């Protein structure tokens, strides 16, 4: 049942007892975004976020390389 309903007990966005509210709010914004996407995003949203981060890092690296080699 838990798997069929995509319930993630370890995910603080989905299962947030009052004693965990502080833990969630203390997370850094990127962590909160990841947890929120895992809860309400489409399947694969977290993986897409990882891909976007990797692409952005590559873009910055190539921009630096281009700037240094002109």
Q: State which residues form the domain around 54.
A: 18-68
pLDDT for the residue 31 = 93
Residue 50 belongs to some domain of the structure: yes
* Residues of the chain predicted below pLDDT 50: none
Looking at the structure of the chain, the number of domains it has is 1
d(CA 50, CA 17): 28
Residue 38 belongs to some domain of the structure: yes
Cβ neighbors of 9 (< 8 A, separation 6 or more) are: 2, 15
Instruction: Tell me, yes or no, if the pTM score tops 0.85.
Output: no
Residue 11 belongs to some domain of the structure: no
Residue 46 belongs to some domain of the structure: yes
Residue 8 belongs to some domain of the structure: no
pLDDT for the residue 54 = 98
pLDDT for the residue 30 = 94
């Amino acid at each position: 049942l838990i798997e069929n309903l995509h319930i993630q007990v370890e995910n603080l966005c989905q299962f947030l007892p009052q004693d965990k509210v502080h833990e969630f709010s203390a997370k850094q914004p990127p962590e909160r975004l990841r947890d929120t996407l895992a809860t309400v995003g489409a399947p694969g949203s977290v993986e897409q976020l990882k891909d976007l981060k990797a692409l952005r890092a590559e873009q910055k690296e190539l921009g630096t390389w281009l700037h240094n080699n002109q």
